[in-house]
């Protein structure tokens, strides 16, 4: 089997890996929400849908999904609920373009085991620099995107898939599940 065939076989296996994927970011702004927040909410939904279609053995959630909330509602407020959700996740993609997403990044990056699962997606113009936000981002896996990547859908259809594939490969390696060719 040639290298290209092996890589394809490994990629196919990684796409079938059993993962729990969280997609955090802007919530549903409702009919009165701003155009910008509606765009981000739609992109977040698109990311979830594309990941669910690509990683068919995985579960892809928003923390506000009833499937998760019904199991954690008794914890009193959203922070402990999301902490539990993050604890069971293999990968957390955060579309960091809203106040709520900023809070999630700030709060949960303080837990090393959760910070390691986080993949921060922000407009490229906010990557790097100096200041408090950059100090936090320096300790995380931050991926900047351009307006063109956002508008052309490659943020969801390429970047997010690649980020989750990397997590799936890591999980396969940790479990000893890499195929021997």
Locate 24 and state its tokens: 């955090």
What is the average pLDDT value for the chain, to the nearest integer? 91
Residue whose entry in the numeric block shows the structure tokens 């993609």: 93
**For position 176, what pLDDT does the model report?**
80
- Global pTM reads 0.91
Q: What is the pLDDT of residues 111-139, one digit of tens each?
A: 999 999 999 999 998 888 777 777 777 78
Percent of the chain's residues with pLDDT above 70: 97
From residue 128, how far is each of 33, 70, 100, 122, 174 by CA, in Å? 29, 38, 21, 11, 31
Report whether pLDDT(16) > 70: yes
**Tokens read off for 37:** 């927040």
- Sequence ranges of the domains in the chain: 17-25+35-174
* Confidence grade of residue 110 (pLDDT, cut at 50, 70, 90): very high
pLDDT digits (tens, 9 = 90+) for 56-81: 999 999 988 888 888 888 888 888 99
Tokens of 115: 């910070």
| pLDDT value, residue 180 | 61
Q: Is 53 helix (H, G, I), strand (E, B) or coil?
A: helix
pLDDT at 179 over 80: no
Under CATH, what is the fold of the domain 17-25+35-174?
Answer: Rossmann fold (3.40.50)
pLDDT above 80 (res 7): yes
């Amino acid at each position: 089997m040639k290298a290209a065939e092996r890589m394809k076989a490994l990629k196919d296996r990684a796409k079938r890996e059993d993962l729990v994927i969280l997609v955090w970011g802007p919530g549903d702004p409702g009919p009165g929400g701003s155009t910008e927040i509606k765009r981000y909410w739609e992109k977040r939904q698109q990311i979830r849908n594309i990941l669910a279609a690509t990683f068919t053995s995985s579960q892809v959630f928003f923390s506000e999904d009833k499937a998760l909330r019904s199991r954690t509602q008794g914890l009193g407020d959203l922070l402990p609920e999301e902490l539990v959700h993050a604890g069971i996740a293999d990968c957390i993609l955060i579309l960091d373009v809203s106040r709520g997403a900023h809070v999630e990044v700030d709060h949960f990056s303080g837990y090393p085991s959760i910070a390691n699962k986080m993949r921060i997606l922000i407009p490229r113009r906010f990557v790097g620099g100096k200041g408090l936000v950059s100090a936090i981002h320096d300790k995380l896996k931050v991926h900047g995107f351009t307006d063109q990547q956002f508008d052309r859908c490659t943020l969801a259809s390429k970047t997010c898939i690649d980020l989750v594939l990397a997590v799936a490969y890591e999980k396969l390696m940790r479990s000893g599940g890499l195929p021997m060719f």
